Amino acid sequence: MSENPTIAFLGLGHMGGPMAVNLVNAGYSVAGYDVVPAALEAAQAHGVPVAGSPAEAVAGAGVVLTMFPSGQHVLDAYRGVNGTPGLLTDAAPGTMFLDCSTINVDEAREAATLAIAAGHRSVDAPVSGGVVGAEAGTLTFMVGGEADDFEAVRPLLEVMGKRVVHCGGHGGGQAAKICNNLILGVSMIAVSEAFVLGEKLGLTHQALFDVASAASGQCWALTTNCPVPGPVPSSPANRDYQPGFAGALMAKDLKLALNALQSTGVAARLGPLASEIYDTFAAEGGAGRDFSGIITDIRDKSDSDRSQA
Ligand code: NAD
């Protein structure tokens, strides 16, 4: 891989679009592609050169970067569907396959196996930081793959992010991502239950915040993404739970964590419950709301007649 490779960037959605723009602005030669014409046109309007087909995007590319909704999308695109050649066939031997989508650990390992069997290199590098981080170039990348492949992709990840962490072999990036979001999902539910309990017991939000944020209950769900309005003015609770980090994405990530908990046989109880809780939240109108909106669910489903205030 050359020091300044051409990048085929496939998947120009909410995240991929601005990430591709940042690569272009940093001087990389990019060929963007998306199956949805509107996404392609939006990226083009922001200065991303686009291709007419996946094969055209991949021709001459040193890196094939994918930013897709799911692992099935990644595997289908790599292998090709309905007899059409996939990206692994389209790309020249030795191409770096860099998948930044959030997918199952097993799927990431399968994607790496397929890429390597086809004579390519492979790295998984899911992100955190959301659309705001994608636009600002401040994402965190969690990277799985061989050490020399990590070093090869690090410069371009540093264009799109401010933190790039090598988490181990293939699938290691996905593993770190879902473990982190397992903590996040469970802790947001715990913080929300505590605030609703505090309301029932006559505590003000500010009093509970002032104590817990400086005590052993301190966590990101409380101090940065506080689920009640007031104590943290920048939290989504102050803007009617506009995301932020949408409930649908939390439900997705917890499902990936659940799959990994089950396939590894971990005796987890809170993870599966958190996955169920966020599935319900997403299905009952929370999909497009910030995941901290779970507190309104807990409050609404609580017994309105009983309190000790
Ligand atoms: P998105 O749905 O907005 O974008 C995905 C894009 O991929 C779509 O435009 C879709 O048309 C395109 N696509 C699907 N299959 C394709 C193919 N074969 N070829 C070309 N394009 C194809 O999703 P997003 O919000 O950008 O998220 C992308 C990934 O990043 C997901 O895996 C998500 O879990 C992860 N993620 C998202 C966020 C966030 O805040 N949105 C944060 C962290 C991680």
Closest to 79 (Cα-Cα) out of 105, 106, 107, 56: 107
Measure 72 CA to ligand 1 centroid, in angstroms: 12
- What is the number of structural domains in the chain? 2
pLDDT recorded at residue 248: 96
Pocket test for ligand 1, best of 7, 12, 14 (most atoms within 8 A of CB): 14
Distance from Cα 117 to the centre of ligand 1, integer Å: 26
Q: From ligand 1's centre to the CA of 191, what distance in Å?
A: 29
Domain limits for position 205 = 175-308
Residues of the chain whose pLDDT is less than 70?
A: 309
Nearest CA to ligand 1 atom 25: 14
Last residue of a domain, one of 139, 169, 199: 169
Helical segments of the chain, H only: 16-25, 37-45, 54-58, 71-79, 87-90, 105-117, 130-136, 147-160, 172-200, 205-212, 220-223, 247-264, 270-281, 294-301
Q: What is the DSSP letter of 293?
A: G
Give the DSSP H or E segment for 66: strand 63-66
Counting ligand 1 atoms within 8 A of each CB, the residue from 7, 35, 81 with the most, and so the one to mutate, is: 35
Confidence (pLDDT) at 307: 77
First-to-last alpha carbon distance for the chain, in angstroms, is: 66
Q: What is the CATH number of the domain that holds 28?
A: 3.40.50.720
What pLDDT was estimated at residue 309?
A: 62
State which ligand 1 atom lies nearest to the alpha carbon of 252.
34
pLDDT at 3: 77
Burial tier of 257 (Cβ tally within 10 Å: 0-12, 13-18, 19+): buried
The pLDDT of residue 1: 74
Tokens of 191: 């913080």
pLDDT at 2: 80
What is the Å distance from ligand 1's center to 118 Cα? 25
Same domain, yes or no: 124 and 99: yes
Write the residue with the smallest CA distance to atom 13 of ligand 1.
Answer: 11
Q: Do 221 and 119 fall into the same domain?
A: no
Question: Is residue 179 located within the same domain as residue 164?
Answer: no
Domain boundary among 108, 140, 169: 169
Q: What is the CATH number of the domain that holds 250?
A: 1.10.1040.10
Per-residue pLDDT reduced to its tens digit, 200-222:
999 999 999 999 999 999 999 99
Q: Are the C-beta atoms of residues 176 and 260 closer than 8 Å to each other?
A: no
- Tell whether 18 and 107 lie within a shared domain: yes
Give 279-289 pLDDT, tens digit per residue.
999 999 999 99
Q: Which residues are catalytic?
A: 177
Tell me the C-alpha distance between 117 and 96, whole Å.
Answer: 13
Asked whether residue 2 is domain-assigned, the answer is no
Q: Which candidate, 137, 152, 139, 166, places its Cα nearest to that of 23?
A: 137
Q: What is the pLDDT of residues 112-149, one digit of tens each?
A: 999 999 999 999 999 998 888 999 999 999 999 999 99
**253 CA: nearest ligand 1 atom:** 34
Q: How many C-beta neighbours within 10 Å does residue 181 have?
A: 23
Query: Ligand 1 centre from 305 Cα, in Å?
Result: 44
Phi, psi of 222 (to 5 degrees): -90, -50
Q: Kindly list the protein residues whose Cβ atom lies closer than 6 A to any atom of ligand 1.
A: 10-16, 33-36, 39, 67-69, 73, 77, 101-102, 127-128, 130-131, 249, 252
Query: Which residue, judged by its Cα, is nearest atom 29 of ligand 1?
Result: 101
> How many other CB atoms sit within 10 Å of the CB of residue 89?
13
Same structural domain for residues 181 and 146?
Answer: no
Mark which of 123, 145, 169 sits at the end of a domain.
169
136 and 279 inside one domain: no
The pLDDT value given to residue 306:
81
- Domain contains 153: yes
What φ, ψ does residue 253 adopt, rounded to 5°? Answer: -65, -35
Q: Which residue has its alpha carbon closest to ligand 1 atom 7?
A: 11
